[in-house]
Amino acid sequence: MIKPAKESVSSNNNRLITLDLLRGWFLIVILVNHLFYFPSGYDFISGRGMLIVSAAEGFFIISGLLIGIIRGGRMNHVPFPVIWKKLWKRGVLLYIWSIGLSFFYILLGWLLYDTPGLKWGLVTPWTNIPDVIAQVLSLQYFYGWADFLRMYAVYIFAAPLAIWLLRKGRWYIVILLSALVWLFPQKPVVEIDMIYTWQTLFFGALMVGYYWQNITKFVKTMPKRTINIIAYTCLVITALTIGLSIVSAFIAPSLQGSGWDSISKLTQTIPENVLFHKGDMPLPRLILSFVWFISFFWLFVRYERWLLSKLGWLLLPLGQNSLLVYITQSFVIFNMHLWLRPSMFAVTLEYPLLVESFTIIINFILTTVAIGLVWLAAKYRRFLPFIPH
């Protein structure tokens, strides 16, 4: 039976700071992609949400990893009921905020029903109200920009079972249960059912977090050459697949009718391919998500001092207050889209180059303002005590 090391990870503070920095980065990318004010200059860090793997996967991986570290291996000596109560208390909080935000945005959407910038997916005001309430309460319907809360709430409720099994050394049962849940929804998976498939990211990372101390101790015993080979292999795979994503999203469409049609058709279908379908989370995308995460984690560890000195002021408040940031960004995106929808600055005038430059500047300013608003909420969270962080 594999047992996690007894040493607390709290003494290994650098690793936790690295995860905070990385989570802050992922939150920025998620915000930029959801705003969708493109072109803006932020395209280069976000890929406009059109990459084979997204920052959202990394965000789920970090969440599961931290639950495994903090509530799993780190608290292995604590009676299980204590962990169970802590996790369920957090799960209840997430559930309340999830359904509360859905109801809030539904009511706001009905009040502004004819507004062009209203987020898609809103049920009509004449829909049967009891049905809407029942679907929101059962997490079968959501509205707004905070869907992750719905998914996290369920994962946190299920996390005690995973930790209990890991305490018993039954890691293989955790894998089996995760696989069975993944098989449950009909493929291709629609957005509402991603809760069944994306749990593979969360619970896969939770298992890694549970054995974090064992893993880090084992890595320290490995030859440096072996570590470098693994790291650089992940980096190369990440770079190649990011490059392929860029070709698919930005270059392939322009190749149509230029004698490169076959390449264009092939590359444009990659993100929607059954092997990388976002909703299905098939094994290739799942593996690639962890490979990308390992690459970015390795880079953030390697350049942590530089990142702290140059970007720590920006990333740490976001990464250390992820729940507050995620809730706040849902308000920012919803309201900005109401009055400044992304399509307002389309290049349709007589001088496209001039208008394109103007569009980039405007979109850059809008995106920067949105990031700034969310950052201010995280930095001065004491003024928002009613929002959990």
Q: Is residue 230 part of a domain?
A: no
Q: Is residue 99 part of a domain?
A: yes
Q: Are the C-beta atoms of residues 52 and 163 closer than 8 Å to each other?
A: no
Residue 7 is predicted with a pLDDT of 42
Residue 180 is predicted with a pLDDT of 98
* Tens-digit pLDDT string for the chain (389 aa): 445 444 433 344 545 899 999 999 999 999 999 999 988 889 888 888 888 899 999 999 999 999 999 999 889 999 999 999 999 999 999 999 999 999 999 999 999 998 888 999 999 999 999 999 999 999 999 999 999 999 999 999 999 999 999 999 999 999 999 999 999 998 899 999 999 999 999 999 999 999 999 999 999 999 999 999 999 999 999 999 998 888 776 776 666 555 555 554 555 555 556 788 899 999 999 999 999 999 999 999 999 999 999 999 999 999 999 999 999 999 999 999 999 888 765 554 444 555 567 888 999 999 999 999 999 999 999 999 989 98
Q: Are the C-beta atoms of residues 288 and 52 closer than 8 Å to each other?
A: yes
Q: How far apart are CA 289 and CA 284, in angstroms?
A: 8
> Token pair of 76, please?
């292995």
Q: Is residue 266 part of a domain?
A: no
Q: How far apart are CA 130 and CA 125, in angstroms?
A: 12
Residue 67 is predicted with a pLDDT of 97
> Token pair of 99, please?
């359904």
Residue 12 is predicted with a pLDDT of 47
Q: Is residue 66 part of a domain?
A: yes
In angstroms, how far is the first alpha carbon of the chain from the final one? 36
DSSP sequence for 192-251: GGHHHHTHHHHHHHHHHHHTHHHHHHHHHHS-HHHHHHHHHHHHHHHHHHHHHHHIIIII
Residue 50 is predicted with a pLDDT of 84
Domain membership of residue 343 as a residue range: 9-222+315-383
Residue 373 is predicted with a pLDDT of 98
> Token pair of 292, please?
């990308």
Cα Rg, the chain, nearest whole Å:
22
> Token pair of 18, please?
């690295």
Q: What is the 3-state secondary structure (H, E, C) of 100-124?
A: HHHHHHHHHHHHCCCCCCCCCCCCC
Q: Is residue 248 part of a domain?
A: no
Q: How far apart are CA 220 and CA 332, in angstroms?
A: 43
How far is C-alpha 280 from the chain's CA centre? 16
Number of domains in the chain: 1
Q: Are the C-beta atoms of residues 280 and 197 closer than 8 Å to each other?
A: yes
Q: Is residue 105 part of a domain?
A: yes
Q: Are the C-beta atoms of residues 371 and 28 closer than 8 Å to each other?
A: yes
Q: Is residue 379 part of a domain?
A: yes
How far is C-alpha 161 from the chain's CA centre? 23
Q: Is residue 346 part of a domain?
A: yes
Residue 255 is predicted with a pLDDT of 60
> Token pair of 242, please?
């990011």
Beta strands in the chain (DSSP E): none
